Structure 1
Amino acid sequence: MGQYQWNWGVILERVPDTDEFYYQWLLSGLGWTVATALAAWVIALIVGSIIGVGRTAPNKWISGICTVYVEIFRNVPLIVQMFLWFFVFPEFLPQAAGDWVKQDMPLPEFFTAVFSLGAYTAARVAEQVRTGIMALSRGQKNAGLALGFTLPQTYRYVLLPMAYRIMIPPLTSEFMNIFKNSAVALVIGLTELTFQMRQITGEYAPANPIEVMTMTSVLYLIVALAVNRVMAFIEKKSRVPGYVGGGK
C-alpha cells in the first residue's frame, strides 16, 4: 500500500475507448439500483401485507398456504431465486411465452430482478405484519367485530392501521436492506451500482480501483441514510403511545 498512488478524481476520467466517464457509469448504476429497489418495495409491501394477514387468519388452509410461502421465499437464498426466475422459470412456460420472456420482453433483467427481490422481501415483510397484528390486544379485534364489522373490515379499519404504525422500525430495516440486496441482480446482468463498480474495476480497470470501490460504498451509504431519515420522520409522525418508543 505504501506504493499506491491515491487519486480521488479518478471517476472524472474518461473510460478507455468510449465517450463516457466513470462517474456516469456509477450514476447510471445508482439509478437502476434505486429504481429496482423502489419497485420491488411496492411489491414487497403489497404481497407481504396480504401474506402477513393470511398468516393470522382463522382459516387453517389460508394460514398454511401463507406459511409455506414465507418459509420457501425466506429460506431460499436470494441469488438462487434470481437464477431460477431468470433462467429456469421461462423453460416451464409454453414455448411462445417462454421465448417472449427470454428474448422479447422489454428490460428482462430489470423486471426479473424487481419481481424476485419483491417476492423475497415480501416474505420478510409478511413476518413483520404478522408480528404487528399479534402485538395488538385481542380486545381490538373483538371490539371491531362487536361494532358489526366483518372480519376483513376489522382488519382493514381496526387492526392494520395500528399494526402498520407500530411496525415502522422493523420495516425501516427491511427498506434499507432491499437497496443492498438489489446488488444481487448483477448475477443476471442488471447494470445496477455493484455491476458498474465491478465493470469499472475489472474490464475497464483504472489505475485507482480502490477509490472507485470506496465511492460506490459511499453512494450506498448515502441511500441508506436517506431511507433511514425518511422512515424516522414517518415513524415520528405516526407513533402510537404505549407501543413505540415511549410517549404518553
Structure 2
Amino acid sequence: MNRAAFTLSAILVALLLSYGLHEALNVAPTEATMGNVQRIFYYHVPSYAAAFTMFAVNLLASIFYLARRRTASAAAADAVAVSAAELGVLFCSVGLMTGMLWAKPVWGIWWTWDARLTSTFVLWLIYVSYLMLRRLSEGGQAPTLAAALAIFGFVDVPIVYMSIRWWRTQHPQPVIFGEQNSGLDRSMLPALLINLAAFICYGALLFWVRYKLERARQELRDTQAVHSLELARAEAR
C-alpha cells in the first residue's frame, strides 16, 4: 500500500467512524429500559468483534508459522501474528472498559465474576501473556512457544461467545445469532452494523501499520545480526 492509498484509506475509515458515532448518538432510538447509557453498546460490541477478528488472524498466522517455521515465509507469518495479537489486546481492553462503564449504571456494579466477564478476562490475560512472552524471550524459541500459546488461547474465544448460553449470567442473550426474541430492534441495527464495519476497517488499517513496523524491525534485527557476525569474523582474522 503506497502513501496515497494509505492516506485515502485513513480518510475513509475516519469518515466511517464519524458516521458510526452520528448513528449511535443521534439516530439510533433510546432504549426504553436503560436509556442513553445503552448507546455504549454500539462501541462495546464492535470492540469485541474487532478483537476476535484479530485473534483469529493471530491463530491462522501462528498455525502457518508452526507449519513453515523453517522457510523464508515464517518471518512474515510471525509479524502478522504479533501485530494481530497486539491489536486484539487493544480492542479487548476497550471492550472490557466500555463494559464496565455500561455495567455501573445498569447493574450498579463495575464488575462481577459471571461467566461472560470471567472468560473474557481470561482471554485478555492469555494474550497479554503472549505479548509478554514475545518481549521477555526475544528470538530463539519464543516465536514457536508464542504460536503454541496463541493456538491454545483462541479456544477461549468461542467460550466467551457461548458462555451466556451455557451458564446463567447477568448478560442478556446474544443480539446477533441469538434466540428468536433476543434480537436487536430493527431501528437499532443500522448503528450497530455501521460501527461494526467501522471498527473492523479501523483495525485493519492499524494492523497494516503495525505489520509494516514489525517487518522493518525484523529486517533491522537481521541486518544487525549479519553485521555483528561479519565484525566477529573480521576480528578473528
Q: Which TM-score tier does this pair reach, normalised by the shorter chain? A: 0.3 to 0.5
TM-score under structure 2 length normalisation: 0.33
| Structure whose CA Rg is larger | 1
